[in-house]
Amino acid sequence: MQVSPPRSLTELFLGFLSIGARSFGGVMPWAHRVMVEERRWVDEADFAETIGLCQFLPGPNVGNASIVYGKRWFGLSGALVAFLGLFALPFVWVLALFALYADFATTNATLRAVVTGVGAAGAGLFIGTAVKLGRVLARRPAALALIAACFLAAGIGRVSLFIVLPIAFAAALVCARKGWI
Amino acid sequence: MILLELTLYFMLLSLISVGGMPSVLPELQRYVVDVKGWVSAQEFIQIFAVGQAAPGPNVLIASLVGWKVGGLPGALLALAGMCGPAAVLAWWVADLWERFKGSPWRTAIQRAIAPIVVGLIGSGGYILATPGAPDWRLWAIAVASAAGMLGSKLNPLWFLAAGGALGAFLLD
């Protein structure tokens, strides 16, 4: 596949703006559609590799990808422009939606019930994602033990992530080096 | 003062947000609801719901928490705090990561992070479905949407919409 990176900052900005504007139900599929299929800035393998890195890094995945690609093509101004393009519209929309909601929710119990239902369904999507990703790992007992330990500590025990993460990461790194996960 | 505290907290959270926003939701909820009392547990699930239903990266939930605490400046600072340190890290690590392609440490780090992220995302789901005392209705909606997601390839928005309809039916 012939790929050609964006030629100007404007093009970079508009590309990421259209990712942000359309990303109902998740950003990743739209990032793929815009960058790989529509604008052909990068190929499939490049996209997968970069997203893989961004999933391992802290921070929002596609947000990080906007930094990595922006830097690659235009340096610091590219990273800033791509990031701002990605967040500009969703930021405005989410605040507008929330303001609208807050206005009505104080008097309307049904609306509160609907939105709480949406929240519970969103929680379910997280659980589904955890199951989907976990199925691949679950064949290794050590991986299963790590998943369970993190869930018990952070989810049930409500221990701070600032304590859970360093301990879990050290333990997981030992397991990984020994080939257990 | 509260804005400074909020911004610093999100900057710290940014650095440990491996796996993105879903992984740090348990910690965020613990801090803003249990420790600080800036929002109630019920408000937190509604913030999350609005953040999920709106388009855009789900890290925008941070800006809604910021909005709740300190209006527009709070929203901007929370988002900048949540993204900034991680973005700086991404800037530096991208080249380094490329250079260590095939190194055993790189592989070990990737393998080590995977189960942690799974455990934390699961925790996030559990905590959001359990604001306050366990409520079978919220759990039923969550389990139904998890099952739907695992059993189909529909856009997740459909499950959010179904959750809203079930919410009106069960919770009102």
Alpha-carbon gap: B38 to the closest alpha carbon of chain A (Å): 16
Confidence of residue A1 (pLDDT cuts 50, 70, 90): low
CB spacing of B56 vs A60 below 8 angstroms: no
* Least-confidence region, from A136-145, B54-63, B96-105: B96-105
Alpha-carbon gap: B2 to the closest alpha carbon of chain A (Å): 20
What ipTM does this complex have? Answer: 0.91
Share of chain A above pLDDT 90, in %: 77
CB spacing of A58 vs B89 below 8 angstroms: yes
* Least-confidence region, from A88-97, A172-181, B65-74, B101-110: B101-110
Span A36-55, pLDDT tens digits? 999 999 998 889 888 888 88
CB spacing of A124 vs B107 below 8 angstroms: no
Span A87-121, pLDDT tens digits? 999 999 999 999 999 889 888 999 999 999 999 99
CB spacing of A59 vs B14 below 8 angstroms: yes
Mutate to test the interface with A, among B32, B118, B136 (most CBs of A within 10 A): B118
Task: Identify the closest residue of chain B to A172 by CA–CA distance.
Answer: B112
pLDDT confidence of residue A105:
85
A58 close to B92: Cβ distance less than 8 angstroms: no
CA distance A78 to B36: 37
In 3-state terms, what secondary structure has residue A57? coil
CB spacing of A147 vs B119 below 8 angstroms: yes
CB spacing of A94 vs B50 below 8 angstroms: yes
